[in-house]
Chain A
Amino acid sequence: MALNMAFTLYSLIQTAILCTNAIAVLHEERFLSKIGWGVDQGVGGFGDDPGVKAQILNLIRSVRTVMRVPLIIVNSACIVLLLLFG
């Protein structure tokens, strides 16, 4: 195929794991609060439309909370598989 971006489903899984890892490693104290993205700085208005920034902060916080344990499992599995099969 002439496409240099020929995707497979495996590369999609890889991309998803990498993106989720990238979101999960954003540390709350050391990084997010410093740039004004801490959990206390997100909830601006209490109307029914939280706004884009509040939604992003919400998303980051929920990814960190929900995906912590599954990411540990998936990353360990990936490490073992890559070590074994290259």
Chain B
Amino acid sequence: SSWHKGYSLNTPRARAAPPTGDSVLFEDTSSAAPAMNSQGYYTPGYNMGEPSNDMQGGGGVNNLFTDPMANAAMMYGSSLANQGKDMVNKEISRFMSVNKLKYFFAVDTRYVLKKLMILMFPYTHRDWEVRYHRDTPLTPRQDVNAPDLYIPTMAFITYILLAGMALGIQKRFSPEVLGLCASTALVWVIIEVLVMLLSLYLLTVHSDLSTFDLVAYSGYKYVGMIFTVLCGLLFGSDGYFVALAWSSCALMFFIIRSLKMKILPSLSSDSMGMGSSAKPQLRLYITVASALFQPIIIYWLTSHLVR
């Protein structure tokens, strides 16, 4: 019948099982179920494919609301989901304050573009100070030097997708390898943040670098990695090494200039006249070591993608 033809044209991708065509033959529950499946997403296709049988489609949709059991199940499910959501919110807010996290995601397009340009070409940027407003740092929307977590998160996800694509080009792709690549990169970020926290604690550097700041600065290397992998895929091995050198230098410059403001003591203050002279040296070593770590890890995580 024409109803069947229209149905098969429009729902090859539908998640609803084929038996919807035979809903007249099934019991009430199964005619309610396919209506629920196709309700949110595929309803337009579902309706378009059955012009001559809107009684059936209408009957299927009406069954959802008149069937008391499905109704009750849906309401119970939504109240359960709300309870779960409240509980999760309460537990998460015990570990990290969501407000602090919101600060890192308050970005806009202008900030993202400027920051990406600074990450790739930091040599012309003049003023590296993070501006404050009555003791609270300005949001990334107002200050281009403020660290954010939007760029690192997006860059991380893009890197994973790019890695999958590069592995696919080399015909070495499989979902497990992709998961392995993602968790390896994540573990390196965690290790780097922990080492930085440990060294900052040992040297009693009283800076206002929070954990999220360190995660942000550590995540900026993914932008360099994406650029390097892209050049490696497009231009071969030569392009890979040129892009690696370029993004390494840019990233090292960026990290040193950004962290210098926060870690190293300001040279103009004469507070610690007799302070141990080893301190500024050690702080400088930490900054330089963290900067030198970036090209190493970029090479380590991307060389296998560009043979």
Evaluate contact between B204 and A49: CB separation under 8 angstroms.
yes
Give the Cβ gap from A51 to chain B, nearest Cβ, in Å: 7
Residues of A contacting B: mostly: loop
- Pick the contact of B183: A9, A49, A51 (CB < 8 A): A9
Evaluate contact between B204 and A50: CB separation under 8 angstroms.
yes
Given the complex, which residues of B lie within 8 Å of A56, measured CB to CB?
202
Evaluate contact between B201 and A49: CB separation under 8 angstroms.
no
**Alpha-carbon distance between A5 and B184 when the two chains are bound, in angstroms:** 8
Evaluate contact between A12 and B204: CB separation under 8 angstroms.
no
Asked if B169 lies at the interface with its beta carbon under 8 angstroms from chain A, I say no
Evaluate contact between B202 and A52: CB separation under 8 angstroms.
yes
Asked if B81 lies at the interface with its beta carbon under 8 angstroms from chain A, I say no
How many residues on A have C-beta within 8 angstroms of the other chain's C-beta atoms? 17
Asked if B289 lies at the interface with its beta carbon under 8 angstroms from chain A, I say no
Given the complex, which residues of B lie within 8 Å of A49, measured CB to CB?
204, 272, 275-276, 279
Evaluate contact between B275 and A12: CB separation under 8 angstroms.
no
Given the complex, which residues of B lie within 8 Å of A52, measured CB to CB?
202-203, 282
Asked if B26 lies at the interface with its beta carbon under 8 angstroms from chain A, I say no
Evaluate contact between B276 and A8: CB separation under 8 angstroms.
no
Evaluate contact between B276 and A7: CB separation under 8 angstroms.
no
Asked if B92 lies at the interface with its beta carbon under 8 angstroms from chain A, I say no
For A1-18 the 0/1 string (1 means CB < 8 A from B) is 111011111011000000
What residues make up the interface of B, taking CB atoms closer than 8 Å to A?
Answer: 172, 177, 180-181, 183-184, 186-188, 190-191, 201-204, 272, 275-276, 279, 282, 300, 304
